[in-house]
Each structure stands twice: as C-alpha cells, then as structure tokens.
Amino acid sequence: MTDFASAATRRKNAPARLAIGLLAGTMLAGMPGLAFAQDEEGAEPAAPAPAPVIQQEIVQTIAVSGAQRLEPQTILSYIELRPGDAWTQAAGDEVLKDLYATELFSTASVINNNGNVVINIVENPVINRIILEGNRRLKNDKILPEIKLAPRQIFTRSKVRADVARIIELYKRQGRFAATVEPKMVELSQNRVDIVFEISEGPKSKVRQINIIGNEAFSDGELRGEMVTKQARITSFLSSNTSYDPDRLAFDQQKLRQFYLTEGYADFRVISAVAELTPDKRDFIITYVVEEGERYKFGEVAVDSQLRDFDDDAMTQRLPMQGGDWYDAKLVEDTVEQLTELAGTFGYAFADVAPQFSRNQDDLTMDVTFVLRQAPRVYVERIDVNGNTLTQDKVVRREFRIAEGDAFNSLSVARSTARINSLGFFQENFEVNQVEGSAPDRIVLEANVEEQATGELQLSAGFSSLESFILAGSIRQRNFRGRGQTIGLSLNYSRFSQSAQVSFTEPYVFDRNISAGVDIYRRDLNNFNPRSADRDTTFEQSTTGLSLRAGVPLTEYISAIASYTFNYDEVSLDESIYFSDRDGDGIATCDPLLASRFLCEAIGERTSSILGLTFNYNTLDSRLRPTRGETFSWTTEFAGLGGSVKYIRSRLRGGKYWPLGSGFIFSVTGEAGWIKGLESNVPAGQDEVRLTDRFFLGEPQIRGFDIRGVGPRIVRLNYFDDDGDPSTPLVSQTVEDALAQDARVDDAIGGRAYYLGRAEIEIPLGSGARELGLRPSIFLDVGSLFNVTPPLLQDFPNGVQRSDADGNLLFEQLGTDADGNPILELVPNATAPDGTPNNPSIFPGTFFREVFVGDSPSPRVSVGVGVNWNSPFGPFRIDLSHVLKSQLGDQTKLFSFNVGTSF
C-alpha cells in the first residue's frame, strides 16, 4: 500500500531541482571566461568577435515509449510539437506540460537525440475497485454515487483529493464534523490499483448550547422554542434537530426575525450568529447576538385601490387589523395574499398589492396602506397540458373549472388544481402555473404534470384473536387506458370470510359529466365462536350480487348518485351439529337447543332488490390525502321493489380537516346509520330486520376492537355442579367467567342503529422521516351498535321447570342418570310460540343457559397511534390501539397492519 504523500512531495520538489541544475550549469559555463579576464587584466581590450550563428535543430521524428493502453498516435495528439518544428528546451517543457495536463500519466520525460525526440511515459494505473472502510453511518450506496473515482477509470491524484473532500462534506451534512478520510492505494498487476478510503466517522456533532445575547422582551427558552435547531438533552434523543446544520442556522435567524415581527418589533435584527466547534470536535456552541428595538402598534391602516371594481372604504373596514393593535408582519403578509386572491376573483390575474409602511418614531406606531396598483382585467388565452405520456389531455382538461376565453378567476383556478390533485394520477402538490400571454390582458394556464403510478397491487395482512391471520389482495388500475377509468379485482380470505369482487367505473360517460359503474361480487361469511378453541361454525352466509350506479353533479361541490343492487343470500347451518330429528319422521330440522333460536330463524334463501340514492358534498383539497376542507354524504336505500326482503336503511357520513401549521393536520370524521324493517306479522322474539341486513361494528371501523367485536351478542353460560350432589340444582357461570374461559357460543347478532366518530392528528417528522414517507398519527375512536329485539333465550339447568316466552310449560327435569345426563319429562302437546311442536332434545353435557349482552348505546372508546409509511415495497400502515371503555361481551384487539405496492 503506497502513501500518496511521498509521491506528491517528489513531484513538488522536481521543479526546484531543475532550477538548481540550470543555475549551476550557467555558473560553470561562465567560469573560464572569468579566469581569462583576470589573466589579461590591464591588457588592451580585443576587438569584439562577431556573434555566432545559432543553428536551430529541427525535429525529425517523435516516438513514444512506455505506452500500454493508449495508442502512440493518441498520445501524440495531446501535444503541439510536430516533426519539422524547431527543437528548443521550451518546446520540450511544453510537451511535458501538455502530457501532465491530461492526468493520464504518472511520469513523463522528453529526450532529443539529434532531432529524434523520444517521449518516455508511465501511464496512470486503472482503478480496479473502490473500497470504503469504516463507514457505518453512511453506507456505500450513499457515498459511491457522490465521488468521481469509479472502477475502470484512470486513476488521478486530483480526483482522489476531490473525493476525500466530498466524503468529508457528506459527513458534515450528517453532523459529523470530526470525520476524517485517509486514501490508500494498493498496487496490482497489469498496472491496476485498488483505492481504499479509510474513514473515521467520529461522533455526531450535537448542539450543546444555544446562547442568545441582547434579548429582554422574551426569555432564552421562548426564543429557542421558535428555532428548528434544538439543544442536545436527554429528553431529545429522538429528535434529528439537535445536530448542527449551517443551513438550519440561517433558517433559525429567519425564524427569530419572523417571531419578533409578529410581536410588533419592526426594527429587530440579528447582529451576528456564530457556531463554535468545541475543542474535542464533538459539539457546537451557537451564540446569537440580537437587537430587539422598540415595539410598535398599528397606526392608520387603509386600502388604496387603483382598480375600478373595489371600494377603498369598504375594503378598509374589512381589514383584519385595526389601529392600536400590536403590529404583526405575518398578518400584513396574509392580508396581501387575501387581497391578491380577491383581485384574482375579479379577473385581475396580475394584480400587484404593495403594502406601504410609515414608521412613526414618536408614538411608536406603524401606518400601513395596501395599494392595489392598476392592472388590466385578464382573460384566459390558452390552457396547455404538458408532461402527460399516458393520460389523455381530455382527462386533465375536463377537470378545469375555467375555459379558454373566460375571464380569469383565481378561485376557479384553485378549484381546478384541487380537482386535478384529487385524480391521484400526477405528482403531489400539483399547481396550475400562470404565464403571461401574447398581450397584457391575456394569460396562459399551464398544467405541467408528472405522471405517477396509478396501478395498485394491495396486499393486506392482520392478526386478531377472532380469525388469527387475515389475508387480502386487490389489483386496481385507476387510470385504465389513460382515460381516467377505474377497473379492479379484489380477493379476501380469512377463517371468518372470503370474498371476490370485480368493478368498473367510467367517470365521464360519452365525455359527459355523468359517471357510471358496475360491481359484481361474491361474499362468503363463516360466523364462528371466536373464543372457543374448537372454532365451531355457527352459521354461513353466502351473498352473490350485482350493483349498478350512475352519478351526476348538481353543483360544483354537490353530486347525486343513484344505484340499484340485486343480492341473492343464502344462510345455512352445519346440519351434522345443529340439526336433529326429534319428530322421528326422518327429516332433520334446525334444533333451537343446539343452535340459538335466532340462527334457526335466519336459515333460508332470500333475494334483495335495493334502490339507493346518495347525496355527496365535498370541498376537500384532495380525495387521497386531504389537508383541508369538509365532506358530507347521505345515503338512503329501499329494499322491496321485488325480492323477498323489505326495509329502508339510511346512513350519514361527514368529516372535516384543518391544517394546524408546521405540517400538523387535524381531522374529525363521523358516521351513523339506522334501518327499519317493513315486514309485517313478525313472530314474537324475532327482530323485524333479518340478521344478514343488520349493521355490524368492529375492525376496521373502530380500531381497538375485533371484527364484529362491538354490539349485541348471545353468550352461552355452562352450568356446573359445585357440591357433587345430583339432587341439588347446578350453578351457572357468570358472563365474565364464560368469556374469560372461551365460551363455546358467542355470536354477534348485529343492530339496527349505530354511530361512529374519529378524531385524528397527523404528526409531521423531520426531513429524514419525510424522505422515508413516514406519517404518524394519534387517534381517538368512539362508537356503538345497538337496538335489536331481544331474542328468545334458552335455559337448561338441573331440577327445575322451564317454560316458553308465553308461559307454556315445556319440560321439567327430574334428575340425572348415572352418566350425569339430564332425565327430562316432556310436557305433552307443548308448542312453541309459532304453533309448531316443541319437543326439546337434551344431549349429554348440554347444561347451559343463554344471556343477551352488549345492546347498549353507551360509547365504546379507544385511543392509539398509527403510522403510514411509503416503504420500498409499498404503502404500509400499522395501528396500535388501547380500549378505554367497552361493554360486557365486546371483543378487543391490540394491533393491525397492512402493506401494498403500486405499479
């Protein structure tokens, strides 16, 4: 391994040795003449000899010696000396300068032999590998693209020096100012070398202390709170803003100035900002010297409009500041922006609002006059769409709320921007650019788009106490054929449910502002006991359906969607478990002693013909990632135009988003629903709405609870013999004990009404986290499901009589046999409330009673944190929840996650 310093020293001393040699040669050449002059001292001076004629030597040939990779002709092309030129020492020096300037040669020399010039060169080696050692904080893929040297390139020392400086700069950007880089060269055969950068990263340089000198109105702590840079403390170990960054230092000066200007200190200035590195190069100490100046109030505030459409007095009265208020520069900036937008709504696209200030030192007031300078009313000359390679122009143009030839309107342009952003086809934070047209009263609107992936491959996975692992997958193209159409296929699988759906949506039918869509689906639901290890299925529901929809806009923000849905439902039970032949006629029927009565009532096939109407109101700035605006929808469905099911169902949904500043986004969303059955002659103990048409609540609507984990449910409690005496009644479990010990029957039966609310704050992180796409949030979920007719419950203890809901004696238990099975005496001709014979069958071990729990409008409450991450393998979401309030029978869960990708 060769150190670059020794070679560089020899190169550096070569010119000095050459100069000494030339000087010595000159002195020796003059010594004979000097001696002769001394010997002839006093003699008559001789006549001057004629000047000798210097014969210039002509270059005959130029040869190259030592070339390995480069062709001699290529090397000769680098120099200006050619055969036929006169040879001089200066010409030879120029040849060397030209060769070294290429940085292709480690050494070079020129020899002239009677006009035959020979150039001896040693080529710089070829780089075989670039090796980084000692870099743990910055990986190779972050350093190698930033340096100039690369394998198969020619090695040069200048590039090495530049790369060393670049690596150190990269570490400084990471806050590691103590980092050092030592380059080494390993010589290999065939004139090849390995370049090794030995890196000592050193500790990350933190900001140990921030000192502020000159502040009197505000404490050091208040001013540090306004800065982005923070002092390194034990409590700030998760913050990335404790490292030193020169750019951040300049930004903090602006933050200080903005803060003081909003507090009325119009003369505030930062005199100096110095960052000193401690002697151990571990930390920085930053010192600000400030001058606060006097605090001002607003004096006279007025609007002076040179535009004919504005009334100065009326606008002055609507200004947000008044004389006597503390001066606030931010309020002035916001007012300028509002006045500019106001002028834009009247067609003045290039309106210039210039605030004029008059500082009164005597009474410390600031007069502000907002001058709206004369500008022409502007019309849209042209709308250009650029950058779209897949998406058709019409898909973008139809989202514009302003057309070519219309008077310019800034609100229409802002709305157009929001609508194009909501498509989700292009880059985030898309803006419509405004460019001057061919005349002062003309403007060109440019939609410079950058297309992004609109295909989605979504893979979701979750874990719950109800179903173990849940898997789901979907593929969707939101910009099919570049026409803005949406086509998708989704598949879901778990021990709880399986479903498949194909959908298609055309947002503009025949290029008219009418949307249409169709969904074809199949859903299979297996409802089983979530707590029992046996996981016996209680009922199975299969739904096959078709849904058609069409929508029209009523206003810019309100639309109506009509739909028609036809469903074929089939509900069944496992006959081997829940059916019996108690009549002895060879026909097995659903046994309410084996299955709950509500399950026997739900069995069968039915069809639903449903008409729906939805009204939507939406002012969100983006449908994908809203930051401001509100949304509201009302949906009403009527089932009964054909089919075997009759009901009316309604849902309300709404939400509002607020940007809180500094990247924080607060949102509140909520929904509620109710359903009313229209069936007549409903038997006693049976709800007017069928089981499959009721609402269910849980994951994912309310986080912290399992699928169908909230609301009314039936739980079977076992009886046990606590004293071993068969003549005494058995003792029943409590509900808490049964749920804790995995009750064999725990069925959610849904409800006819529900409500749900959610409050969430999205928290911004540092620049590094933003680059990774991390968006954490804190949430609070509230909801409840309730209002269902209490079902007929069953109770089979030992040694008591039991009657039905109408008081009819069904049976009495006389005792137990030797195996512990109940001995029953059936009451002759006992009938169920619906008039059918009721001959209960009691099987071994069926000592139980049923309880009805969870039918309460009392809110269930959960809190938690969630993180969205745009990971390299797709969008990733994880939620960690904690239930604060629940009801007896509710099922909770701790976390869930999902992951997907885009194409």
Please name which of 322, 247, 319, 253 lies closest in space to residue 287, comparing C-alpha atoms.
Answer: 253
3-state secondary structure at position 215: coil
Q: What angle separates helix 157-173 from helix 4-39, to the nearest 10 degrees?
A: 140
Report the mean per-residue pLDDT for the chain: 80
Average pLDDT for 200-226 = 89
Checking if the pLDDT of 903 tops 50, the result is no
3-state secondary structure at position 405: coil
Contact (Cβ atoms closer than 8 angstroms) between residue 369 and residue 302: yes
Vertex 142, ends 139 and 144: CA angle to 5°?
100
Element at 172 (helix H, strand E): helix 157-173
The model's pLDDT over 743-761, given as tens digits with 9 standing for 90+, comes to: 556 788 899 999 999 999 9
Q: How far apart are CA 831 and CA 556, in angstroms?
A: 62
Instruction: Return the beta strands (E) in 698-830 as ranges.
Output: 713-720, 731-732, 746-748, 753-762, 774-786, 795-796, 801-803, 809-816, 822-826
* Confidence category of residue 851, pLDDT binned at 50, 70, 90: confident
Contact (Cβ atoms closer than 8 angstroms) between residue 771 and residue 870: no
Least confident of 291-300, 359-368, 557-566, 727-736: 727-736
Q: Is the sign of the CA dihedral 446, 451, 455, 461 positive or negative?
A: negative
497 vs 134, 538, 638, CA distance in Å?
Answer: 53, 13, 26
Contacts of 44 (CB under 8 A, 6+ apart): none
The model's pLDDT over 568-601, given as tens digits with 9 standing for 90+, comes to: 988 888 777 778 765 666 787 887 667 777 777 7
Contact (Cβ atoms closer than 8 angstroms) between residue 848 and residue 796: yes
pLDDT attached to residue 757: 96
Checking if the pLDDT of 487 tops 70, the result is yes
Please name which of 773, 768, 756, 766 lies closest in space to residue 867, comparing C-alpha atoms.
Answer: 773
* Confidence category of residue 535, pLDDT binned at 50, 70, 90: very low
pLDDT attached to residue 634: 97
DSSP state of 814: E
The model's pLDDT over 801-812, given as tens digits with 9 standing for 90+, comes to: 455 555 555 555
Work out the number of other CB atoms within 10 angstroms of the CB of residue 649.
21
The gap between the terminal CA atoms of the chain, to the nearest Å, is 48
- The backbone torsions φ and ψ at residue 673, rounded to the nearest 5 degrees and listed phi first, read -155, 155
Residue 805 has which token pair? Answer: 């809901």
* Confidence category of residue 468, pLDDT binned at 50, 70, 90: low
272 vs 226, 257, 828, CA distance in Å?
Answer: 18, 13, 103
pLDDT attached to residue 826: 46
3-state secondary structure at position 897: strand
* Confidence category of residue 29, pLDDT binned at 50, 70, 90: very low
Average pLDDT for 158-180 = 88
Average pLDDT for 689-706 = 88
* Confidence category of residue 768, pLDDT binned at 50, 70, 90: low
> Which residues sit opposite 288 in a β-bridge?
212, 273
The model's pLDDT over 332-348, given as tens digits with 9 standing for 90+, comes to: 999 998 898 888 888 88
784 vs 653, 749, 751, 890, 891, CA distance in Å?
Answer: 15, 14, 10, 11, 13
Contact (Cβ atoms closer than 8 angstroms) between residue 309 and residue 345: no
Could you tell me which residue, 448 or 35, shows the higher pLDDT? 448
Could you tell me which residue, 762 or 743, shows the higher pLDDT? 762
Checking if the pLDDT of 221 tops 80, the result is yes
Residue whose structure tokens are 């143009």: 397
Q: Is the sign of the CA dihedral 95, 101, 104, 107 positive or negative?
A: positive
pLDDT attached to residue 318: 87
Least confident of 526-535, 610-619, 712-721, 784-793: 526-535
Task: Determine the residue type at 270.
Answer: V
- Which segments of 398-471 does DSSP mark as H helices, in order? 410-423
Could you tell me which residue, 729 or 41, shows the higher pLDDT? 729
Work out the number of other CB atoms within 10 angstroms of the CB of residue 790.
12
* Confidence category of residue 103, pLDDT binned at 50, 70, 90: confident
pLDDT attached to residue 677: 92
DSSP state of 403: -
The model's pLDDT over 123-135, given as tens digits with 9 standing for 90+, comes to: 889 999 999 999 9
Least confident of 191-195, 485-489, 775-779, 890-894: 890-894
Least confident of 287-296, 483-492, 608-617: 483-492
The model's pLDDT over 618-642, given as tens digits with 9 standing for 90+, comes to: 998 877 678 889 999 999 999 998 8
